[in-house]
Homo-oligomer: A and B are copies of this chain.
Amino acid sequence: MSPRLTRRQLFGSSALAATGLLATSGLDVGPASAAAVSTPFFHDHQAGIATPAQDHLVLATFDVGDATRAEVATVLDQWSTAAAEMTAGQPIGSTLPTSMPPADTGEALDLGPANLTMTIGFGDSFFSEQLANRADRPRGLVELPSFPGDQLDPVRSGGAIVLQACANDPQVAFHAVHTAKRLALGVLVPRAIQLGFGRTSATVDGQSSARNLLGFKDGTNNLRAQDAADMARYVWAGHEAGPAWMEGGTYLVNRRIRMRLELWGATSLEQQQAAVGRFRASGAPLSGTHEDDPVDLAATGLHAVPLIPVGAHIRVASPTANAGEKLLRRGFGFADGIDPVTGELDAGLVFLCFQRDPTAQFVAIQRRLSASDTLHRYLVHTASGLYAIPRGLEHGQGWGSQVLA
């Protein structure tokens, strides 16, 4: 995926300005380009996966309700038409007489594309007798097991259809989901909407690692979208996935992870760093001094104690501990207020990751994390979803004709 931006424009985006990268980059680039940056909608792969992570997320799920196959296909085609318009910074539809409701709801009219991407996916319940598409169910769409400590909200979890809108302007991302919901009126049933802010992972070279709400740099050793070999090996599904539209697609796992910030805030810096396996200030692994130093799991200190503790997150999550497996993480922070029961913050990480084989990748890694990761005791998973993400659309093709032809 090559977004329509030069390196200069990329570094001039408000994303990077807002995260302070530019304060140290020495570049002096007009931010006039920030709102104008766009990523092409039609491509081999859907946008919003290998796209450099934007600043804001609006993630929506829908159920099919009583709709027929034809009705659902029509809405999906309308969605992709609208997505092509909105991601280009255009209002949807045409200008109608003023005696009619406007085609576009208007709240993003002056905001530019703001690098909006819209990514669609389908959960297990999409493949049904009702839609006569059980045979199209992608093979990787397994039922996720429950993991120790899960406290899943059923409404925030699952859903037949997921729509991930990411943009560098929150109102642009909201407009995308608002529009989809409006186009689906009377056909699809809205299930949940989750907002996220401040990308937590660098997904391309040159993006600085942002800090998550635990205060630690996150995503240092993430897959990089420029690495075509890694993307092919770990992210893009092949023909083994099932239906033809999954070749070049992937699978999205969504975990809403509440961070126990009050407990974390009462934990010593030493213990925090031991739980993560990195120094907080620099982001360097406890075996090194710079953020990008390799994670040396064998390094030991006094009395042969491992510098990166046995239960450190970066050890338990490492490819070494996981048969070489990796994920493309693309998460966002969230803050949904105060838990009325505990009085604690309902805040944390909308963990989104893409992979070609959810069982071998997310499930295997998460089993290990929930069993052995010291950090896990500070986290509560409160929602879960797995979705098959079709390949990208060709010009003129629609999501309905792609998956419900």
Contacts and interface: CB of A to CB of B under 8 A. Distances in A.
Interface of A: 12, 14, 16-20, 22-23, 25, 27-32, 34-36, 56, 58, 96, 98-102, 104-112, 114, 155, 168-171, 174, 178, 181-182, 185, 189-195, 197-198, 208, 210-216, 261-262, 265-270, 272-273, 280-281, 333, 335-338, 340, 343, 345, 347
Nearest to A60: B338
A111 B155 CA distance: 34
Contacts of A272: 101-102
Contacts of A194: 337
A108 B215 CA distance: 7
B170 A266 contact: no
Cβ-closest 8 pairs across A and B? A106-B215, A17-B31, A28-B30, A170-B197, A20-B35, A14-B14, A31-B31, A98-B269
A156 to B, nearest CB: 9
19 contacts: A14-B14, A14-B31, A18-B34, A18-B168, A19-B35, A19-B111, A23-B36, A27-B30, A102-B269, A106-B211, A106-B216, A107-B333, A169-B198, A170-B198, A171-B198, A174-B335, A174-B347, A193-B338, A195-B337
Number of copies: 2
B23 A333 contact: no
A234 B266 CA distance: 45
A265 B101 CA distance: 6
A41 to B, nearest CB: 20
A19 B110 contact: yes
A335 B58 contact: yes
A91 to B, nearest CB: 10
A169 B22 CA distance: 14
Contacts of A211: 106-110, 171
Contacts of A195: 195, 335-337
Nearest to A174: B335
Residue of A32, A99, A102 with highest tally of chain B CB at under 10 A: A32
A129 B36 CA distance: 57
B32 A30 contact: no
Contact of A340 (B17, B32, B155, B280): B155
B213 A197 contact: no
Contact of A197 (B108, B171, B182, B266): B171
B213 A345 contact: no
A383 to B, nearest CB: 12
Given A101-B267, A212-B107, A266-B101, A192 B20 contact: no
B190 A338 contact: yes
Given A105-B265, A178-B261, A269-B98, A30 B35 contact: no
A4 to B, nearest CB: 15
A270 B182 contact: no
B268 A174 contact: no
B35 A215 contact: no
A169 B215 contact: no
Given A29-B31, A31-B29, A268 B22 contact: no
A112 B23 contact: yes
A17 B20 contact: no
A191 B338 contact: yes
Nearest to A12: B31
